[in-house]
Amino acid sequence: MYVGTTTNGMKYAVINLQGRIFLPAIDDPFRKADELLATLFADVGFVLVDMHAETTSEKIAMGWYLDGRATAVVGTHTHVATADERVLPEGTAYITDVGMTGPHGGVIGMDRVAIIKKFLDALPTRFEVAQGDVQMNAVLIDTDDDGPRNSAGRLKARSIERLRLRID
């Protein structure tokens, strides 16, 4: 977890959680979220949670679990931006996966020829980074610093918008 202050004096926290389905077994991310949120002072106005997980179900469950306690829950790891961005009922901005930054001409950033070959022959192979079609996926989350707060005293999101920037 990282806690910082913006140039206008707003305190914020960034929390990174890792899911457990199809990933190495680590702490329960739901209980870890509770533990980390409990350590934040009341003056932390913006809380961004990065839910790094393999399955959409685990990411969606975390979004609902933290609705009203975090300003935003954004999923990462699967590299493909999802089209389910929304503000949940208690004011938490949510998206299942933000998407990746890097070359989109391959398979999740790697050269597609080597990836396809591995799928076809199931033999170990070296993956090289794909070239060209560089893109950056991100989200823009809008809040009102003086606006309504959720039950945990954090800023509520007004909107979340997917962004895809391309270098051509």
Q: pLDDT tens digit string along 70-90? A: 999 999 988 889 999 999 999
pTM: 0.89
Above 90 in pLDDT, residue 9? no
Separation between Cα atoms, residue 94 and residue 88, nearest integer Å: 7
Domain ranges of the chain: 2-100+137-166
Q: How far is 8 from 69, CA to CA, in rounded Å? A: 22
State the Cα–Cα distance between residues 54 and 78, nearest whole angstrom.
6
Residue range 27-62, pLDDT digits in tens: 899 999 999 999 998 889 899 999 999 999 999 999
Stretch 149-166: mean pLDDT: 90
* Whether domain 2-100+137-166 has CATH 3.40.50.2300: no
Cβ(159)–Cβ(94) below 8 Å: no
Burial class (CB in 10 A: 0-12, 13-18, 19+), 72: buried
